[in-house]
Amino acid sequence: MSFANKRPGGRILPVRRLTPQVDPQKQFDKLSAAIGQIYNHNVSQLSYEELFRIGYGLVQSKNGSLAYDGVKGVLETHLSDCVHRDVLVHMDAVRSNPSAASNNALLSSVRHLWSEHVTAMLVIKDVLMYVDKVYVKNANLVPVYEMGMCVFRDKVLLAAQKRLITQVVKATLAQISCERRGAHVDRSVLRGVVDMLVELQGTGQTCTLYETTMQPQLLAESRSFYCDAAKTRLLDHSTAAYVRAAQADIDAEMDRARAYLVPATGTLLRNVLLDELIDKHASDIINIPNTGLVQLLDHRDTAALQTLYNLYAPMHPTLLILQTNIHSHILELGQKFAVSLAPLSSNTTQNDEQEGSRDKDKPAQVLGMAAKTAMALRWVQDILDLYDAYDEIIRVSFSECQSMRQSIHDAFIEVINSNSRAPELLSLFMDDSLKNGLKRKGEQEIDHLLERSVLMFRFLQNKDAFEHYYKLHLAKRLLLGRSLSDDAEHSLVSKLKVECGSQFTLKLEGMFKDMQLSSDLANGFKESGAANADLDLSLSVLTPTYWPALAPPMSEEAKQEMQSVEPPPGILRTLVEEFTQYYNHHRSGRRLAWQYNMGNADIKLQFGTRTYELNVSTYQMFILSLFADIDDLSLTTTEIQQQTRIPIEVLTRQLQSLACAKYKILSKTPASRDVGPNDKFAFNNNFKSAQYRIRIPVVAAKASVETEKEKSESMAAIGLERQYVVEAAIVRIMKTRKQMVHEQLVTEVIKQLSARFLPTPKLIKESIGRLIDREYLQRSPDDPRLYNYLA
């Protein structure tokens, strides 16, 4: 028989260590005494381990409330004693005799008390770490450090009997006000007080004491202070001084915020200053008499303008005010420039030579063509100089602000296009630049000059009118050899091509091509041996579709008569016939039509014992050749016309240039300026001049501003061309769309043609009517506003 050993159920407990009973109150008394030592800076004499064990023991013995509440009571008592001993005396001094010194003393005492309390609480928090970890967490209380902050807030700042917070905020604001007026203040004290208010939470709120007590009052007082400052400065400051002072105030407030306030307050203060100093007085500031925005712009005060922009830019309404005033000033300057062009409207037809011979007889208010041309060039130069000035202001003062740039661009567009002559004057300016303005200029300077011209071209709305004039001026430069640089000519056309496309410059490029082909033809003609060695012939063979009509205005009858003009018999006619044969041989299928009215010649004539070299028109050369080698020959106007076949109205002007102007190469009987059919002309053997080379005025050879009559004829030609362009655009659009309502078609035509000119709805409507008559379009029978394209 066997026996099994059985163990009883349960488990054996370890022997419990018995510790002696410790009185919690005595332990807390040690902790309370230690807190006093911490405030007295005697931390080196304390044992951190012992104090930690006290806290630990109190929690473990279920006396955590004694530790937490007891410490709170000790803090309250200590802080109340400190306030009565160290702070109230300064608060009473401020109340009885407020001054910067008393305010600073009060704030210093509060900052010192706060600093001592924070330092002590950091040590107390570490000592009671276990209390925080266990008791505070389980009891859902605020941690020891935060509890200490609340005690300071409630017993020092918000105590009902003393209400120290009110006096602290007052003193702080008073110190800030003193500093604004130029006094020196202790910023470190202010920094400490603000830090205290920022760290302390308001009672029952998520905001800090700083946000609920000090910041609102600071903003209110700042608004009042700068409101008064603005009113005073508007009375005794210039615009430049005002904006400099305003910017200095903003800079000072931002520096103040960085030094002892908070960043958010700096932003709010900046907004207050912009509102009080700028926004509420935006119009008054820039219109201060004799020193306002206009004066800053006219004197190019870029520094003051930059400050002004920096103050106006942050707020859209004030920026708009600035833009509007600058826009208006540019328009005013444009009107002044336009007034200077008023004499261009006078119907003067005097040319340069006539001016020279009739200065004594003409009224003082009548300007000759040279003076008018100079005036026109001055207008373009003034516009470009003004734009350069404002472009610099945009770059230097306005930080390349795109809305400001667009507003200024719009003003220049309005100024330029308000002058109906702008396309002509710009073309004239380019013509003068390419003939005279490139002298002694480097490549970069030339490119800058061309860029400025293209910039003004970009602002033109009627670019087709510019094309009309530019072709005229370019043709004269090319045919008369007046251009200083072929590279500059090609460069300018390339820039125009970039702006408006290849279609815009097609004819201009064709003119250059013709000149090159003409040079090749002339060289080939000389090399062929057919050319007369005694004559240096320069020919330009032009494609009619590329070149404008350069002849002066004349009747249709005169235009027909010009087709029959030919050189008088002799060497000139032989030369013309030989070149015609050469051209027909090398260019079969083409026909030459000689345009003698567009040529000129250098000839040598002998008067008595002296020989002169004359530059004359081809017609004048034909006339003078009639008198060659025949002494005392006298011819009437009718006889000259019969031999040369030059139309009588053209011949009259040529004879006036030879016999009635400054240089009298022919003598005329009777000696009057008018030319009649029976007036007689003879070679003037008594002609004398101090110059060897003499230029006889060539009709319509010099680029000059148009007379009112010429302008009307040009606008008529441009208007006719616009009709064709609008009709072509309508056909293109309708061919694609097949069907469109009237409003949509008008909008689309304007959109497509706006790069060349702005067609009016009336012009478009008339063009639609003509296309309907020619059966390109048809009105819908159901809706007269709807158009159908007829294939």
pLDDT attached to residue 326? 96
Above 60 in pLDDT, residue 350? no
Q: Answer yes or no: are the C-beta atoms of 420 and 376 closer than 8 Å.
A: no
DSSP run (H or E) holding 612? strand 610-617
Mean local confidence (pLDDT), 211-234: 95
**CA–CA distances in Å: residue 758 to residues 172, 410, 419, 456, 735:** 66, 16, 15, 17, 22
Structural domains of the chain sorted by starting position, each given as residue range(s) with its CATH number in brackets: 24-200 (1.20.1310.10), 210-289 (no CATH), 316-505 (1.20.1310.10), 556-561+586-695 (3.30.230.130), 708-789 (1.10.10.10)
Residue with tokens 């496309």: 501
Identify the weakest region by mean pLDDT among 16-20, 119-123, 434-438. Answer: 16-20
**Most confident option among 205-209, 219-223, 674-678, 724-728:** 219-223
Q: What percent of the chain has pLDDT over 70?
A: 89
Above 50 in pLDDT, residue 363? no
d(CA 147, CA 141): 9
pLDDT attached to residue 697? 72
pLDDT attached to residue 13? 57
Above 90 in pLDDT, residue 596? no
Looking at per-residue pLDDT, the higher value among 303 and 342 belongs to 303
Above 70 in pLDDT, residue 5? no
d(CA 642, CA 644): 6
**CA–CA distances in Å: residue 291 to residues 234, 241, 242, 295, 344:** 11, 9, 10, 6, 35
**CA–CA distances in Å: residue 345 to residues 356, 419, 463, 544, 590:** 22, 12, 22, 32, 44
Strands 634-636 and 680-683, by their bridges, are antiparallel
d(CA 265, CA 262): 5
Above 70 in pLDDT, residue 336? yes
pLDDT attached to residue 554? 57
Identify the weakest region by mean pLDDT among 77-81, 238-242, 372-376. Answer: 372-376
pLDDT attached to residue 400? 94
pLDDT attached to residue 533? 60
pLDDT attached to residue 147? 94
Above 70 in pLDDT, residue 539? yes
Position 306 confidence tier, pLDDT thresholds 50, 70, 90: very high
Tell me the DSSP string of 159-175.
-TTT-HHHHHHHHHHHH
d(CA 31, CA 29): 5
pLDDT attached to residue 20? 54
Which amino acid is residue 292, in one-letter code?
G
Alpha helices in 83-99 (DSSP H): 88-96
Identify the weakest region by mean pLDDT among 20-24, 71-75, 460-464, 536-540. Answer: 20-24
d(CA 156, CA 526): 113
Which amino acid is residue 140, in one-letter code?
N
pLDDT attached to residue 701? 43
Above 50 in pLDDT, residue 356? no
Above 80 in pLDDT, residue 534? no
Query: 40 CB contacts (<8 Å, ≥6 apart)?
Result: none
Computed over every residue of the chain, the mean pLDDT equals 86
Mean local confidence (pLDDT), 162-175: 91
Above 80 in pLDDT, residue 118? yes
Instruction: Give 201's strand partners.
Output: 208
pLDDT attached to residue 702? 53
Considering just the CA atoms, what is the radius of gyration of the chain in Å? 48
Question: Percent helix, strand, coil in the chain (nearest 5)?
Answer: 65, 5, 30
pLDDT digits 0-9 by tens, 39-52: 988 888 888 899 99
Instruction: Give 668's strand partners.
Output: 681
d(CA 465, CA 471): 10
Identify the weakest region by mean pLDDT among 18-22, 172-176, 333-337, 761-765. Answer: 18-22
Mean local confidence (pLDDT), 403-417: 95
Looking at per-residue pLDDT, the higher value among 153 and 344 belongs to 153
Position 428 confidence tier, pLDDT thresholds 50, 70, 90: very high
pLDDT attached to residue 647? 85
Residue with tokens 């407030």: 253
Position 577 confidence tier, pLDDT thresholds 50, 70, 90: confident
pTM for this one? 0.78
pLDDT digits 0-9 by tens, 50-85: 999 999 989 998 988 999 999 999 999 999 999 988
pLDDT attached to residue 14? 61
pLDDT digits 0-9 by tens, 615-632: 888 888 888 888 887 777
Length in residues, the chain: 791
